[in-house]
Structure 1
Amino acid sequence: MEEKIRTIVGPAPSPKTGKGFTLPFNVRLMRLGFRHLGAIAPRLVSKVASKLFFTPVIRKRPEWPADLLSSGQAVRVPFNGHALHGYRWGGEGQPLVLFVHGWENEAAHFQFFIQEILKQGFAVAAFDAPAHGNSRGQQQTNMFEYSLAVGAIFKHFGKIHTIIGHSMGGAASFYRCAKTPEIELENLVMISSPTDIQGIFTRLKQTLHISDKVIANMQNAMHHRFNIDRDIYDLTQLWNKVNAKRVLLVHDKNDIVVPCTDAQRLAEVWSKAQMLITENYGHNRIIREAEPIKEVVEFISQA
């Protein structure tokens, strides 16, 4: 994969998939309340919006294939007074690939990816992020804490060959690599990942009809609690601090969760970053379908 930017097109979406997105009734009800309460009780609205924003919804959990699960070793990494739960496959001498899942997903969403990576002779580790899957010692989390979890996993293993992060998992991995010079990677792969983190708050504001003051209160509370640097809001400013030899950005051009422009902005400023633009794979299907998986596996196998 020598080209700077490549494109692959998947099967056309079904007519149902092509229909416009409609906000759920409960979200429409909340935005009505936020619109009227925001002006008179911004602190209250900030607290409620923060709880919604930083609490992952528990969704139907994917089942691990029995043979894959039985061949892995259960791993627990202490974190934040609790533990990150995950699995490891492969021998100690094999280069280790770490999978970091997205918001409201868990490690099992990577099962198709993991099986293909193992065929190439890599060892694999995959964990449930804080407040996700089996790592539910807490109810809330955020991208900064996600990134700290990646740092804890790195310290546990000591060396990681490749990180493959999906959505928020890719952004958190990028940020932790930028803030931790000790993390040296052969490959960093970011799939459907946001780079304009301020844009996430902007989309939240537009969806829930909350004010700039409420957003500012949410961010200030987050900064006060976690002592977060302001550089977290634009990841394109941190590319030169990431110690990865090869970088691949994978994004669907019609992703409705994270716009493809987020990946394009990073590719424009990061000369070593190659970009794979897909079409018809969306935000989540992209980590389950054979063609995108094949492209990523080939990329990391070249190193």
Structure 2
Amino acid sequence: MNRPIGLKENTKKVKQNHHKAPISIRIIQSTIKTLEQVAPKIATFIAFRLFSTPIRYKMPERENFAHQTAHKSTLKIGGLPVCTYRWGHPADPIVLFMHGWSGRGTQVAGYLGPLLEAGYQVISVDAPAHGQSGGKTTNILEVAQVVDYLGRHYPIEAAIGHSFGGVALHYSIRNAILFSKLVTISSPMESDFILMDFIGKIGGTPSLAQRIRTFVRDKFSLDFDSVAPMFPHPWPAHPDWLIIHDEDDRDVPASQASKAKEHPMGPEIVLTNGLGHYRILRDDHVIHTIIDWLRR
């Protein structure tokens, strides 16, 4: 079901950015273009390395309180130290938050007050190669392994994931129902979109995309097309699923959310306006919409 959120302050269109790509991106594009012609195997290796390497952005001031008030611990999962954050009373039901690519666990900051007031405790993590966790590169298998570990060691009631975090949460429940409610925010639904969006950014060709698929299959025994939510999968049991996406999202277009109308899990789809890919994560109305849905 589609249910737009209509708030006056949220109707301002996201500004279009017509500036040239940064010089570093143009150098990458030029390098990939040349290597595809003269050394396609090297182009594939470099492209996959770029695809697997998140950027560790500095934590903004608005997340300081979340960082300072969290009970922090480090877990060893898959051989890597994973930084975890926990807020709230240990007896309260748990909501797990999973950040997106190049994000961090403290991005849950806007949710803490409302979730704690609603009677939940919150667990968040820095995914491998993100924030204060170990590793320089990562992939959906490693992130899903973190989710699986948390789901098996903590009684998680619901999970909220932003962008890639939503994809990882969805992927993690294919073989086990780790929580009863799932919320994905601004998440892509198709693996082909994920890969071709990246290929476009680095100036690659469809042939490079196919070589990356082959590389992933050979290295991880994984069908790349299987990682995103719309990959056909039997769902004899599954959590309730809420999708929230902004119609002005320039990173992952809202058409991706629309793909999920045909998903056998039958998600509820809520569309917003004027929030883009990142502000939607901090919007008060979106936060309270999610909490109201969790409490049904």
TM-score after normalising by structure 1: 0.88
What is the match of residue 167 of structure 2? 171
Q: Is the 8 A contact 1:62 1:109 kept in 2?
A: no
Query: Secondary structure in 1 aligned to 2:76?
Result: strand
Q: 1:6 & 1:182 partners in 2: Cα distance?
A: 27
Q: Deviation at 1:173?
A: 0.4
1:232 matched to 2:223: no
What is the match of residue 152 of structure 1? 149
For the structure 1 residues 22 and 289, does the alpha-carbon distance in structure 2 shift closer, same or farther, using more than 3 Å as the test? farther
Q: What residue ranges of structure 1 are gaps of 5+ in the alignment?
A: none
| 1:62-81 alignment, distance < 5 Å | 62-63=60-61, 68-81=66-79
Q: Is the 8 A contact 1:5 1:275 kept in 2?
A: yes
Q: Is the 8 A contact 2:98 2:165 kept in 1?
A: yes
Residue identity opposite 1:82 in structure 2: L
1:57 matched to 2:51: no
1:248-280 CA-to-partner distances (Å, cap 9, x unmatched) read: 000011211112121111133346311110110
Q: Deviation at 1:224?
A: 2.8
Q: 2:262 & 2:43 partners in 1: Cα distance?
A: 37
For the structure 1 residues 66 and 105, does the alpha-carbon distance in structure 2 shift closer, same or farther, using more than 3 Å as the test? closer
Residue identity opposite 2:245 in structure 1: H
Runs of 4 or more, structure 1, over 6 Å off, are none
What is the match of residue 212 of structure 1? 206
Q: Is the 8 A contact 2:100 2:163 kept in 1?
A: yes
Percent identical residues? 26
Query: Secondary structure in 2 aligned to 1:293?
Result: helix
| 1:86-101 alignment, distance < 5 Å | 86-101=84-99
Q: Is the 8 A contact 2:230 2:260 kept in 1?
A: yes
Give the length in aligned residue pairs. Answer: 294
Q: Is the 8 A contact 1:64 1:108 kept in 2?
A: no
1:30 matched to 2:28: yes
What is the match of residue 176 of structure 2? 181
Q: Is the 8 A contact 1:77 1:156 kept in 2?
A: no
Q: Is the 8 A contact 1:177 1:243 kept in 2?
A: no
1:20-58 CA-to-partner distances (Å, cap 9, x unmatched) read: 364222212321232232122101111111121111112
TM-score after normalising by structure 2: 0.90
Q: 2:23 & 2:66 partners in 1: Cα distance?
A: 39
Q: Deviation at 1:141?
A: 0.7
1:108 matched to 2:118: no
Q: 1:227 & 1:73 partners in 2: Cα distance?
A: 37
Query: Secondary structure in 2 aligned to 1:241?
Result: coil
Q: Is the 8 A contact 1:102 1:166 kept in 2?
A: yes
Q: What residue ranges of structure 2 are gaps of 5+ in the alignment?
A: none
Q: 1:130 & 1:156 partners in 2: Cα distance?
A: 18
Residue identity opposite 2:176 in structure 1: P
Q: Deviation at 1:294?
A: 1.4
What is the match of residue 295 of structure 2? 301
1:142 matched to 2:136: no
What is the match of residue 277 of structure 1? 271
Residue identity opposite 1:165 in structure 2: G
Q: 1:278 & 1:86 partners in 2: Cα distance?
A: 30
Q: Is the 8 A contact 2:246 2:277 kept in 1?
A: yes
What is the match of residue 158 of structure 2? 162
Q: 2:112 & 2:234 partners in 1: Cα distance?
A: 29
